[in-house]
Amino acid sequence: MAADVRNYWESLTTEIGETWNRFWFSPTDPIALSTLRIIVGAVATLYLVSFVPQLDHWLGPQSILPVSSVRVVLGEGVEEPIFRTSYLNLASSSTDVTILHLIAMIAAICLTLGVATRISSVVTLIAVLSTIHRVPMISSQLEPVLSLLLFYLCLAPCEAMAVDGWLLKRLGYTKYLETASSTRTAWAGVVTRMIQVHLAMFYAMMVTTKLNGEGWWDGNSVWFLLAQTHSRPLDLTFLRDYIYVLNAWTHAVVAFELSYSVLIWNRLLRPIILVWSILMWTLLALATGLFLFAITMIIAGLVFVEPATVRRWLRQPELA
């Protein structure tokens, strides 16, 4: 009896350890991470460019939200203030802000193209966080997702399809190029898993928040989104006469977010969840105007797609 119990626990702990190692440390092709780098870099560029028409209005020293006012709102002087540092707080003139923002946009473009990827990813993350922290009151749902993806890209081996790779090839450093971007590595697997887990937790957080609101239970929340006039790209208020459509749409959003966080881990159900993701985020973008956020959430799901599938889509050669 004692021997059977001992053998059971040994088999159990061995199985748990092997499953844990397979989940986190299986060597993974970095092609999906590299594709994510291109799209996330483009989104970061568009995000920073969106401030350009009113740069001084939002980020300047004498903006509508001066640094002193932001510090008061964030709790400066209280026992537990919110710490949100930003290099934009040091800018003393509109010229300083313009120069700093130009550097930020150049870094984001370099990340998209894969120029000095390791450096440009870190600079882009700092730039985006500094912009968010400078005017946190106008942040939307996009900023948390964009920040977390940029953070993981700072850690990821994502030099494939990059100018860096082209330069290395031209200079003859093919050995490093193959190691950096065209080889399955455990570190690529770790970063991919971290993004997957964080994304699933983000969906779980979104659906938990929705379930705290009555509108998502009684089916009226989508109508509240459609009724807003300041952000919607299309006037869909004609749907007010189709109450069952609005109710079904509302409950479908909740069901989608709940399903994503749980069912995305099933290989057979994953394609259905990802296609559902495209449909739901497209509809929500049309209802709210949050196109960058919708695009980011759709593309983030790329980390759940098999690398071999991504290579087929991009017509990249298969790894040996």
Give the domain range for residue 174: 28-314
- In which band, very low, low, confident or very high, does the pLDDT at 92 lie, cut at 50, 70 and 90? confident
Average pLDDT for the chain: 87
Mean pLDDT of 223-247: 84
Find the range with the poorest average confidence among 55-69, 133-147, 175-189, 197-211: 175-189
**Residue 181 confidence (pLDDT) above 70:** no
How many Cα atoms occupy the beta-carbon half-sphere of 149 within 13 Å?
Answer: 30
205 found inside a domain: yes
- As a whole number of Å, the end-to-end CA separation of the chain is 48
Residues 311 and 318 sit within 8 Å (Cβ to Cβ): yes
Looking at residue 79, its pLDDT comes to 55
pLDDT at 318 over 80: no
Of 129-133, 181-185, 221-225, the one with minimum mean pLDDT is 181-185
Is the Cβ–Cβ distance between 58 and 135 less than 8 Å?
yes
Does residue 103 fall inside a structural domain? yes
Write down the pLDDT at residue 260: 96
- 2 in any annotated domain: no
Residue 20 is assigned to a structural domain of this protein: no
Q: Residue type for 242, please?
A: Y
Cβ proximity of 88 and 130 under 8 Å: yes
The reply to whether 161 falls in a domain is yes
- CB distance 174 to 13 below 8 Å: no
Give the count of domains, the chain: 1
Report yes or no on 4 lying in a domain: no
| 80: helix, strand or coil | coil
Whether residue 239 lies inside any domain: the answer is yes
pTM recorded for the entire structure:
0.89
Query: Could you tell me if residue 15 is inside a domain?
Result: no
- Of 142, 149, 133, residue with least CA distance to 71: 133
Residue 226 pLDDT class (50, 70, 90 cuts) = confident
pLDDT band at 12 (very low <50, low <70, confident <90, very high): confident
CA 49 to chain centre: 18
Report the half-sphere exposure of 296 (CA within 13 A, side-chain side).
25
